[in-house]
Structure 1
Amino acid sequence: MEPKIHTVFEPVTGTWQYIIADPSRKEAVIIDSVLDYDRDTGVISTASADKLLELIMGNEYMVSRILETHVHADHLTASRYLQNMLLQRQQQQRPLVCIGKHISQVQETMGQIYDIPASEMQDAFDYTFSDGEKFRIGDLEAQVLHLPGHTPDHIGYIVGSNVFTGDSMFNPDIGSARCDFPGGSAVALYKSMHKLLSFPGHFRLYTGHDYPSKDRCVPENGKSGAIPYTTVEAQSKENKHMNASTQLVDFVRWRTERDSALPEPKLLHQSMHVNVRGGRLPVGLVERFKLEQKPVNVPRAA
């Protein structure tokens, strides 16, 4: 069985958000949602997440899980906002906010870097997946795929002949993600990308981001020009950083040199504070996180 896949592009951070559904049972999950945040004004808004809610309500889906591929460094997750809104609309059905089990490593590291109280990260997620774990989306079977490299906690999700790769493999003209965050590894990313290229050629690889260039002449997502997926076959032939002939030593050398020259993501500090707390805001004021306005349904950590 194949899922119904809704792709929603958020252009400010270049993030692909996904709704994956069993069309017959009307059960769905959300992957990598975005909570809008303006660093200059300190205003949090929910326009991107509300587009997901509109799709969910319009298709009469019941959302059972809100999934993360990893702790994002470039955007705030809308997981807890969506959970609160869906809890109100679905009444007794509470979607679980889920991530991979290696989140504990990232929380320990980021907790030390940002001086985050352990109490604000305790039970931050409703459920953490084991590597290779299977779960259901209605009658569909999904499986967790550990894909470290960009971050140590990174996972993907296999549903039918589709793999939601997060930041483990970008579209062929973009290539690969940086590996210089704490716990990141170019060697591990090479192996994760190689794992993705080992799937059958017709499998679709849905990426976590896209940064479309102006020379893409056939946009596949309206005006944005962003493309949510390519096939394993296309990636094996065309990915500019990692294709079927790329050697480990070459990839690691190039990726390491490239990462050393990259600036930090614009929302790195704000994203870390929210995302290691499982989508909740800090209890008090924190350095480099201006917060002047937030929606009532975006909670703070306990």
Structure 2
Amino acid sequence: MQPTVQPFFESVTGTVTYVVFRSGHPECAVIDPVLNYDPKAGRTSTTDAHRVVEFVRQHGLQVQWILETHAHADHLSAAQYLRHELGGAVAIGQHIRTVQSVFKTLFNLERGFRVDGSQFDHLFREGEKFSIGALAAKALYVPGHTPADTAYQIGDAVFVGDTLFMPDVGTARCDFPGGNARALYDSIRKLLALPGDTRLFMCHDYPPDGRKPEWETTVLAQREHNIHVHDGITEAQFVRMRETRDATLAMPVLMLPSIQVNIRAGEFPPVEENGQSYLKIPLNAL
């Protein structure tokens, strides 16, 4: 079964949000929605998320799921805005609990912040099957970039989150807390063991100079052309490359604000006694 996939590219963070549905059926899923954030002003906006809302309404769709592939470190999630506007259950992989535990300590979050994933409406188990109306779907556990990454296989399409990028860009970094290059290699080989014509949809694109943003490729194209992990690259070679490369990378601009929101399923931190919500910046901790 081949779902219809509508992408929405957010150029500031290079993130792609997807609306996925079966043609002729109203049920849909939204994957990895972006909340715009101005780090200089500390101000959020819903410009890009509203594009998704307009598309869903114009096409008479009904949001059944709002799926997060992981707790992103490069953009804030618009999951709560979309749920308020369109409904749907916000879901993520069950290993989000590990990420919540790490960052509750790092940010010294409020005592009442729970590390059981209960901020989300549903936590997927490895291999758990679910449906989007008439579409059959399955959650695939693909750790490495973080310990909690989940990909979503929907018909002939897989939404890979931060595992693979387009073949000329390579693979995701593994130096965040709980990341592991060996685990990422195993996760990628798991994805690349799927049939060669399986469509793969990226969470991000950071195009080289001269190329427009792209986000759809295939298993075969990745196996033949991915600059980091094409067929013939051993685990040892990949780990050496990934760890060496990661050591040169700066932290994402939005890592500290985004994680605090995303481990809450897109909710802001609790309002304080002055009526204002705040994000924390831990000094000299990373």
Deviations along 1:250-282, one digit per CA (max 9) or x if unpaired, are 110111111111100000110011001110111
Structure 2 counterpart of 1:206, from 183, 201, 215: 201
**Which residue matches 2:12?**
12
In the alignment, the residues of structure 2 paired with residue 287 and residue 159 of structure 1 have an alpha-carbon distance, to the nearest angstrom, of: 37
**Which residue matches 1:22?**
22
Structure 1's consecutive aligned runs of 4 or more residues displaced over 4 angstroms after TM superposition are none
**Which residue matches 2:132?**
137
Do 1:120 and 1:282's aligned partners in 2 also have CA atoms closer than 8 Å?
A: no
Moved more, 277-286 or 61-70: 277-286
Q: Which runs of 5+ in 1 are unaligned?
A: 87-93, 217-224, 290-302
Do 1:144 and 1:158's aligned partners in 2 also have CA atoms closer than 8 Å?
A: yes
Q: Write out aligned runs for 1:1-302 (5 A).
A: 1-86=1-86, 94-121=87-114, 123-216=118-211, 225-283=212-270, 284=272, 285-288=278-281
Q: 1:180 to 1:245 in 2, by over 3 A?
A: same
In the alignment, the residues of structure 2 paired with residue 264 and residue 228 of structure 1 have an alpha-carbon distance, to the nearest angstrom, of: 23
1:57 partner SS: helix
Do 1:111 and 1:118's aligned partners in 2 also have CA atoms closer than 8 Å?
A: no
Aligned length: 274
1:19 partner SS: strand
Do 1:121 and 1:278's aligned partners in 2 also have CA atoms closer than 8 Å?
A: no
Q: Tell me the amino acid that sits aligned with residue 235 of structure 1.
A: Q
Do 2:169 and 2:208's aligned partners in 1 also have CA atoms closer than 8 Å?
A: no
Do 2:104 and 2:113's aligned partners in 1 also have CA atoms closer than 8 Å?
A: no
TM-score (norm 2): 0.93
Deviations along 1:178-207, one digit per CA (max 9) or x if unpaired, are 101111000000011111111111111101
In the alignment, the residues of structure 2 paired with residue 118 and residue 134 of structure 1 have an alpha-carbon distance, to the nearest angstrom, of: 34
Report the CA distance between 1:215 and its aligned residue: 2.3
Identity %: 43
In the alignment, the residues of structure 2 paired with residue 172 and residue 249 of structure 1 have an alpha-carbon distance, to the nearest angstrom, of: 20
Moved more, 278-287 or 158-167: 278-287
Report the CA distance between 1:4 and its aligned residue: 1.1
Do 2:107 and 2:281's aligned partners in 1 also have CA atoms closer than 8 Å?
A: no
In the alignment, the residues of structure 2 paired with residue 29 and residue 4 of structure 1 have an alpha-carbon distance, to the nearest angstrom, of: 11
Do 2:90 and 2:122's aligned partners in 1 also have CA atoms closer than 8 Å?
A: yes
- CA RMSD in angstroms, aligned pairs only: 1.2
2:76 partner SS: coil
Do 1:72 and 1:275's aligned partners in 2 also have CA atoms closer than 8 Å?
A: yes
Q: Tell me the amino acid that sits aligned with residue 232 of structure 1.
A: V
1:166 partner SS: coil
Q: Tell me the amino acid that sits aligned with residue 249 of structure 2.
A: L
**Which residue matches 1:89?**
none
Report the CA distance between 1:170 and its aligned residue: 0.6
TM-score (norm 1): 0.88
Report the CA distance between 1:16 and its aligned residue: 0.7
In the alignment, the residues of structure 2 paired with residue 161 and residue 118 of structure 1 have an alpha-carbon distance, to the nearest angstrom, of: 43
If asked which structure has higher relative contact order (CA below 8 Å, sep 6+), I would say 1
Moved more, 114-123 or 29-38: 114-123
**Which residue matches 1:90?**
none
